Amino acid sequence: MKMKLKSAAFAAALMISTALTGGAANAETVDFWYHFDNPDNPMSDLVAKFESANPGITINAENVPWNSYYDQLYTSIVAGNGPDAALVKLNALPRLIEMEALEPIDARLDAWDGKDDILPNLFDLTAAADGTHYLLPVQYVVLYLYYRTDMFEQAGLTPPTTCEEFRTAAKALTRDTDGDGQPDVYGFGFRGGKGGHDHWATFTLSRDGVGFGPGEMTSDAAIAGTQYVLDLFQKDQAFPPSAPNDGFKEIIGGFKAGTTAMTIHHIGSSKGMVEALGDKVSAVPVPGCGGGHWTSFGDESSAVFSSAKDKDAAWKWISFLSSAGNNTEFNLATGQLPVTLTDSKNWKNHEARFVDATVASLPFAQLLPNVSETADFTNMVWPVNMQRALIGEITASQMNAEIDTLYNK
């Protein structure tokens, strides 16, 4: 009898051990890459919340620096050790599709309860050229012009609405305040490093007939747009000397410190601006130049990769981030705008003047061409040639010719 009891106990223990081992074997880790300007990790609470609701799935969220984000992503995919899911901007979509790196999500979207709560036009904006969906929107912004209200008031200026007014203001706001013969306050914080193409585009792509089609970038109007930027730096000295290499941290830091009086970014920077400057900062739409307006619709979506170890687990995670409530938490951390109707209704995370500037900019907000060449444009061709042009190695015409060659080989 005792032998039978011991055998039964042993068998029960073995069954429990096997179950536990089997559970561990079936547990999945989703490697998720993202990039935030904020150096703090805002994902921790959301990861904990998700893992609590989804036992057996572990989220390994890694914040990859922006300047190397896509270089690392493309390299990891080629090497076969890419993430299971990641944040992806629309301009990277064509290349990732060419690499067969992304998992189509149309069937998952159709079965997802949260689909009808996403802002109506976002799925249209983020679809691939053939209409297939690979991206799930998670946040959005529109770029506008930040300006220092105190500096404008001191100079007797109003926010510029045209390129002519912008240049007049930038020159007037560039000052030598310590008497050493060199400016120490500059009219505009220009982002000459990666990510700065949107600054250049405001002054160039707004012009009549300017785009990326054959001959458009080498037209007189397009060259005039690039030359306008070069003149602000080289002739007017209205950008800091560091402008050819400046990125996000430099343009925002300079603006907060009073080194620059204007810069272009989005609502994601507004909370930090207000914390530093209070009512000395405000925002308006970017100026119109050469007959039109152009500003960037800043998308950010998430995607499941075709190499994901468990696509269902990866989809659960990214759809969790784009669901009502969770999307508010995500965007409270990132400082951008929620993509759900539910969360948008009661959004109070930004002051009204910055939301107003965003809404006023929407009618002329645009995306760069949704083609594979755009990834090369934003990551290599534009930053390399913009820096060379700013320091005088090449002309505006030569810079634009490089862009034209990229898009119209």
- Digitized pLDDT (tens) for each residue of the chain, 409 residues in all: 333 333 444 343 333 333 333 333 346 999 999 987 666 666 899 999 999 999 999 999 999 988 899 999 999 999 999 999 999 998 899 999 999 999 999 999 999 999 999 988 889 889 998 999 999 999 988 999 999 999 999 999 999 999 999 999 999 999 998 888 889 999 999 999 999 999 999 999 999 999 999 999 999 999 999 999 999 999 999 999 999 999 999 999 999 999 999 999 999 899 999 999 999 999 999 999 998 999 998 889 999 999 999 999 999 999 999 999 999 999 988 878 999 999 988 898 899 899 899 988 988 998 898 888 998 999 999 999 999 999 999 999 999 999 999 999 8
Host domain of residue 326: 27-140+298-351
Q: What is the pLDDT of residue 329?
A: 93
* Same domain flag for 151 and 280: yes
Q: Taking the model in full, what pTM does it have?
A: 0.74
Count structural domains, the chain.
2
* Same domain flag for 259 and 388: yes
* Same domain flag for 159 and 288: yes
Q: What is the pLDDT of residue 257?
A: 97
CA neighbours closer than 13 Å in the CB half-sphere of residue 162: 5
Residue 336 lies in a domain: yes
* Same domain flag for 148 and 165: yes
State the virtual CA torsion across 383, 393, 176, 180 in degrees, nearest 10.
130
Residue 14 lies in a domain: no
- Residue 366: CB atoms within 10 A of its CB come to 15
Residue 227 lies in a domain: yes
CA 147 to chain centre: 21
Residue 244 lies in a domain: yes
Residue 32 lies in a domain: yes
* Same domain flag for 103 and 125: yes
* Same domain flag for 247 and 392: yes
* Same domain flag for 273 and 346: no
* Same domain flag for 110 and 76: yes
Q: What is the pLDDT of residue 396?
A: 98
Residue 6 lies in a domain: no
* Same domain flag for 187 and 175: yes
* Structural tokens at position 19: 């179950």
Residue 49 lies in a domain: yes
Residue 15 lies in a domain: no
Of 34, 41, 97, 96, nearest to 66 by C-alpha is 34
Please list, in sequence order, all residues whose beta carbon lies within 8 angstroms of the beta carbon of residue 396, skipping any fewer than 6 positions away: 223, 226, 227, 230, 389
Last residue of a domain, one of 312, 328, 351: 351
* Same domain flag for 173 and 239: yes
- Residue 174: CB atoms within 10 A of its CB come to 21
SS3 label, residue 242: coil
| Amino acid identity, position 366 | Q
Q: What is the pLDDT of residue 12?
A: 39
* Same domain flag for 246 and 389: yes
* Same domain flag for 282 and 198: yes
Phi-psi label, residue 283: left if phi above 0, alpha if psi -120 to 50, beta otherwise:
beta
**What is the CATH number for 289?**
3.40.190.10
